[in-house]
């Protein structure tokens, strides 16, 4: 049976989305009513403490934001970091909600179902899974976690799996791919209800597999609670998100939940990076066995790269697997990308892909938008746009560019607002260590002042004569392009594929690649401009 593709609440909540581009419910038209979705039919596995009202009430959509409630919605009133969904119960009822799910005791409204549950985010995941009939169980699902490299590995794994399986879905930072039809992403790991809806649409489009980035926020906020993963991949863990997690240890423990049953399910197979400190710890804690394999250059890794040769633009190596060996080449530069390639290869091989076919696809893979993406307009120097927004990512990328640059490396970057303040001096330190000159500028300041972000970064300055703080990102790129010599490289880091900049509540178009191209052209026409 082809199930209806209905609703979705939270996808539209994001400011980048408008109902006209939301593919759900027919581009913003009211969603069709799925048959037989009575509240009592979708409560399996939900810890309901108290219920009140007619449980045979029909549910048309599952909504977490009162502003999106339409008649027949089941509204999940959850606590947030900024506000509390319980404050909006009245509004949801006024808009025609069929039911309310809350951690509070039921209210006094007639005709509306109230479900008091122990945890709203958990109830949301379970009810959404029931509502969409657990589409995750009908796909080969691959969950990819780690501080850096999730998008890169997901994109490569999608290509490798598609060569064997045909249409392959993807959920991640850049977009959601529903089997050929892509829609922009609003979160790396979407709300559980949206992920189930996306999986359902992948099945409707005949996908056999789905690759998904799993962020630590996603795990912590129960966005993947109860979801089945055939393969779960651990890439690495380095500093980020310590605004959200209290410590690296807590950050690790949250990531671990994807692998150890902490999300309510255990992956059939865990694939872990043995070259990473936390990867080695995780592999040890999970006790290697049939449910856990490893990858890396480490001599004990199950998927191992040997005879590695890096070139300016890529890498060649011999892959040794538990079953076979094969010579491989890829056009992804740098040691960190070798790690990403090995992760994707392990996913493909453990999914039954033929490694000869895999080798051909890998060789043709051209990289991921905004990840070490070359800006090429015929200029006599190199310009790259990259998504490095942690100190480890910045170091990894700058090391590659240092290797291929005979002259100087000019770095344009900033640090995001409302994010880990601790990483700012670390990123600045890396910039000063590996680049010849740093143009420090804005990168999504969000609700923070640029002065505060610059002050934090200033703490990592060790060579004051090799850094300039320039508020306007276009101007910073322009100054770097003025300073560049023919043997030099400019790296514009932090925003990668992003096409917008967030200042407070305002979002303005800004794409590093486009801006760099425009500026290079202007400078060619009017030298000195
Ligand atoms: C830190 C974080 O993850 N915050 C998420 C959290 O926000 P919050 O706790 O502040 O929510 P809130 O604004 O207090 O609202 C609480 C509830 O009231 C509801 N509400 C609110 C207002 C109203 O009028 N009516 C109403 O019903 C909201 O819909 C929500 O359900 O819950 C919100 C609702 O789902 C999310 O949008 C929000 O993600 C924000 C946008 C965010 O930036 N998240 C980032 C950090 C994130 O999750 N990133 C990871 C990737 C990280 C990485 O790997 O690099 C990701 O997976 O994308
Ligand atoms: N394996 C890796 N180790 C260290 N740095 C990496 C690795 N892979 C990629 N990077 C760096 O991190 C940046 C982001 O890569 P990518 O988008 O693949 O990671 P991500 O984990 O999806 O990030 P996000 O959490 O923001 O979604 C790249 O542009 C590159 O600079
Ligand atoms: N997923 C990351 C993206 C950061 C990108 C960078 N441009 C920034 O705004 O800090 C985050 O939300 O922390
Ligand atoms: Mg990503």
Read off the pLDDT of residues 297-306 as tens digits, 9 standing for 90 and up.
999 999 999 9
Provide the pLDDT for residue 109.
73
**Are 253 and 354 in the same domain?**
yes
**Are 188 and 251 in the same domain?**
yes
Provide the pLDDT for residue 30.
31
Closest atom of ligand 1 to CA, residue 419: 46
Helix axes 335-350, 391-404, angle to 10 degrees: 110
The residue whose C-alpha atom lies closest to atom 1 belonging to ligand 3 is 188
CA distance 61 to 71: 9
Q: What is the pTM of this model?
A: 0.94
Give the CATH number, domain containing residue 125: 3.40.1390.10
- Out of 364, 396, 421, a domain closes at 364
Provide the pLDDT for residue 111.
80
Contact present, 211 and 158 (Cβ < 8 Å)? yes
Sequence-distant (≥ 6) Cβ neighbours of residue 197 within 8 angstroms? 5, 6, 7, 8, 24, 132
Does 446 show up as a binding residue in the annotation? yes
**Are 94 and 161 in the same domain?**
no
Which helix (H) or strand (E) covers residue 269, if one does?
strand 269-273
The residue whose C-alpha atom lies closest to atom 7 belonging to ligand 3 is 495
Domain that includes residue 99, residue range: 36-131
Provide the pLDDT for residue 33.
36
Sequence-distant (≥ 6) Cβ neighbours of residue 137 within 8 angstroms? 228
Ligand nearest to the CA of 145: 2
CA of 263 to the centre of ligand 1 (A): 19
Does 221 show up as a binding residue in the annotation? yes
Provide the pLDDT for residue 19.
29
Look at residue 11 and tell me if it is in a domain: no
Does 182 show up as a binding residue in the annotation? no
**Are 351 and 437 in the same domain?**
no
Q: If DSSP states are collapsed to H, E and C, what string results for 344-400?
A: HHHHHHHCCCCHHHHHHHHHHCCCCCCCCEECCCCCCCEEEEECCCCHHHHHHHHHH
Q: Is 8 exposed, middle or buried (0-12, 13-18, 19+ CB in 10 A)?
A: buried
Ligand nearest to the CA of 218: 1
Provide the pLDDT for residue 529.
61
Does 386 show up as a binding residue in the annotation? no
**Are 209 and 358 in the same domain?**
yes
Stretches where the chain sits below pLDDT 50 are 1-36
CA of 54 to the centre of ligand 1 (A): 31
**ipTM for the complex?**
0.97
**Are 404 and 477 in the same domain?**
yes
**Are 239 and 333 in the same domain?**
yes
Answer yes or no: is the C-beta of 61 below 6 A from any ligand 2 atom. no
């Amino acid at each position: 049976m082809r199930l209806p593709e209905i609703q979705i609440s939270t996808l539209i909540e994001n400011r980048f989305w408008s109902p006209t581009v939301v593919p759900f419910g027919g581009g913003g038209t009211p969603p069709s009513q799925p048959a037989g979705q009575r509240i009592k039919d979708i409560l399996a596995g939900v810890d309901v403490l108290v219920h009140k009202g007619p449980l045979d009430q029909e549910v048309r959509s599952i909504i977490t934001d009162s502003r999106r409630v339409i008649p027949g919605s089941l509204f999940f009133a959850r606590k947030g970091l900024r506000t509390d969904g319980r404050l909006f119960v009245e509004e949801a009822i006024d808009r025609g909600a069929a039911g309310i799910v809350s951690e509070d005791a039921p209210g006094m409204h007639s005709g509306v179902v109230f479900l008091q549950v122990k945890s709203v985010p958990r109830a949301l995941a379970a009810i959404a899974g029931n509502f969409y009939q657990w589409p995750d169980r009908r796909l080969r699902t691959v969950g990819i976690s780690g501080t850096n490299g999730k998008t890169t590995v997901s994109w490569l794994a999608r290509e490798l799996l598609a060569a064997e399986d045909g249409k392959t879905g993807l959920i991640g930072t850049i977009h959601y791919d529903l089997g050929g039809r892509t829609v922009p992403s609003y979160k790396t790991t979407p709300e559980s209800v949206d992920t189930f809806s996306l999986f359902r649409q992948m099945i409707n489009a005949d996908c056999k597999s789905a690759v998904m980035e799993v962020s630590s926020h996603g795990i912590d906020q129960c966005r993947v609670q109860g979801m089945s993963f055939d393969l779960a991949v651990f890439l690495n863990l380095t500093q980020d998100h310590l605004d959200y997690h209290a410590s690296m240890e807590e950050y690790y423990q949250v990531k671990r939940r994807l692998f150890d049953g902490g999300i309510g399910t255990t992956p059939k197979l865990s694939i872990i990076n043995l070259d990473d400190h936390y990867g080695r710890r995780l592999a040890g804690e999970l006790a290697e066995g049939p449910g856990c394999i490893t990858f890396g250059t480490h001599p004990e890794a199950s998927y191992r790269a040997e005879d590695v040769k890096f070139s300016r633009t890529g890498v060649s190596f011999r892959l040794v697997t538990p079953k076979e060996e094969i010579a491989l080449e890829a056009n992804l530069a740098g040691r960190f990308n070798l790690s990403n390639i090995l992760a994707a290869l392990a996913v493909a091989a453990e999914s039954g892909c033929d490694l000869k076919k895999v080798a051909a696809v890998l060789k043709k893979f051209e990289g991921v938008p905004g990840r070490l993406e070359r800006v090429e307009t015929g200029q006599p120097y190199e310009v790259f746009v990259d998504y490095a927004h942690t100190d480890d990512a910045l170091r990894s990328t700058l090391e590659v560019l240092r290797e291929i640059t005979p002259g100087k490396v000019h770095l344009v970057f900033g640090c995001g607002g409302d994010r880990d303040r601790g990483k700012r001096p670390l990123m600045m330190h890396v910039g000063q260590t590996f680049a010849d000159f740093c143009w420090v500028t804005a990168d999504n300041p969000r609700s923070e002042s640029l002065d505060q972000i610059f002050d934090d970064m200033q703490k990592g300055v060790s060579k004051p004569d090799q850094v300039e703080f320039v508020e306007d990102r276009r101007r910073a790129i322009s100054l770097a392009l003025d300073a560049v010599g023919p043997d030099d490289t400019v790296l514009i880091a932090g925003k990668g594929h992003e096409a917008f900049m967030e200042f407070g509540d305002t979002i303005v178009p800004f794409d590093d690649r486009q801006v760099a191209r425009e500026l290079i052209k202007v400078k060619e026409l009017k030298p000195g401009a």
